[in-house]
């Protein structure tokens, strides 16, 4: 389906990648519904793009339900919101694990379930789930993030099969490391030599392509990372050794250290 003229709900619109997605979709003629937790960022962006806004915390199930009700007329869902969810499993508190999975996995599933019936009734719609190459290959210190992204990829492909023939498409986007915007860029961790990155514009282009061409899966990463992810999918043990050899443990430690401030506190489930 065409982006121009469609009502599109973008979650995580206050993050760097979410803002890039919102602006790119607006430029293509979409009518936007933007959601995020931080009103001080969401308000100016919504005003800039002439968008509806819904302030919501996707860690809270009542907020997810309210968002689904307020955005029930959306033609397209772009489920972009996510927490970093880094750290070794034994260093995470149970409440932190719950919050990570609520935002990174349950919320996009719940929004898909809530918005899809109206799309099916109109025989027109599309669902885009932003996963990650972490949804194909695991890495140290990212068990919760990896679990969520593996789950999101599997969910996307299964729901795509469920909705086949209804006029509603489902796509999963698999970015690698993204420069200039997003969680990796915010962390400022240096990658090993030869490990490339992708731009936010490449991700937004992949989302638009997925919608307009009804692509089931689109990977956004340099060739080397694509090959590494393919290896990880068929030979995870070999891929784990290769990651350690290339400095993957150092990158994982750096991400955990830089992102720990964004980790949901066990005493406060908001994110």
Looking at residue 161, what is its pLDDT? 98
Is position 145 annotated as part of the catalytic site? Answer: yes
Q: How confident is the model at residue 227 (pLDDT cuts 50, 70, 90)?
A: confident
Q: Is residue 270 part of a domain?
A: no
| List 18, 79, 143, 145, catalytic entry | 145
The structural domain count of the chain equals 1
If one counts every other C-beta atom within 10 angstroms of the C-beta of residue 240, the result is: 16
Residue 267 belongs to some domain of the structure: no
Residue 207's pLDDT band, with cuts at 50, 70 and 90, is very high
**What's the mean pLDDT when you consider all of the chain?**
86
- What SS3 state is found at 168? strand
Q: Is the pLDDT of residue 201 over 80?
A: yes
Q: Is the pLDDT of residue 166 over 70?
A: yes
152 within domain boundaries: yes
Whether 177 maps to a domain, the answer reads yes
CA dihedral sign, ordered 111, 113, 114, 120? positive
SS3 call for 203: helix
φ and ψ of 83, to 5 deg: -95, 155
CATH of the domain at 83: 3.40.50.720
Residue 142's pLDDT is: 83
Q: Please report whether residue 1 resides in a domain.
A: no
pLDDT tens sequence across 241-267:
656 555 566 666 666 665 665 666 633
Q: Does residue 224 register a pLDDT over 50? A: yes
Alpha carbons within 13 angstroms on the beta-carbon side of residue 25 total 35
CA 20/CA 14 separation, integer angstroms = 10
Q: Encoding tokens for residue 158?
A: 């299964």
Amino acid 252: pLDDT: 60
Most confident segment among 18-22, 92-96, 191-195: 18-22
Residue 101 lies in a domain: yes
Residue 2 belongs to some domain of the structure: no
| Residue 271 domain flag | no
- Give me the domain span that covers residue 145: 7-262
Judge contact between 219 and 54, C-beta under 8 A.
no
Residues 6+ apart with CB under 8 A from 119: 75, 125, 126, 127, 166, 167, 168
Angle at 118 between CA 6 and CA 208, to 5 degrees: 30
């Amino acid at each position: 389906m065409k982006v121009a003229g469609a009502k599109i709900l973008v979650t995580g619109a206050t993050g760097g990648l979410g803002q890039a997605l919102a602006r790119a979709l607006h430029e293509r003629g979409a009518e936007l519904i933007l959601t995020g937790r931080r009103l001080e960022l969401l308000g100016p962006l919504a005003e800039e793009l002439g968008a509806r806004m819904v302030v919501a915390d996707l860690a809270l199930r009542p907020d997810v339900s309210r968002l689904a009700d307020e955005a029930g007329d959306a033609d397209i869902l772009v489920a972009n919101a996510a927490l970093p969810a880094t750290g070794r499993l034994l260093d995470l508190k149970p409440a932190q694990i719950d919050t990570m999975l609520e935002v990174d996995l349950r919320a996009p599933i719940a929004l898909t379930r809530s918005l899809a019936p109206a799309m099916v009734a109109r025989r027109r719609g599309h669902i885009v789930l932003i996963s990650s190459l972490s949804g194909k290959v695991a890495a140290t210190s990212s068990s919760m993030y990896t679990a969520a992204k593996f789950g999101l990829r599997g969910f996307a492909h299964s729901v795509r099969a469920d909705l086949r023939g209804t006029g509603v498409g489902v796509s999963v986007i698999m970015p690698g490391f993204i420069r200039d915007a997003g969680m990796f860029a915010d962390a400022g961790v240096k990658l090993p030599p030869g490990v490339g990155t992708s731009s936010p514009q490449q991700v937004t282009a992949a989302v638009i392509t997925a919608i307009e061409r009804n692509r089931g899966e689109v990977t956004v990463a340099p060739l080397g990372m694509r090959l590494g992810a393919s290896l990880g999918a068929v030979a995870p043990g070999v891929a784990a050794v290769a990651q350690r050899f290339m400095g993957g443990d150092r990158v994982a430690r750096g991400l955990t250290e830089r992102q720990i401030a964004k980790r949901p506190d066990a005493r406060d489930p908001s994110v």
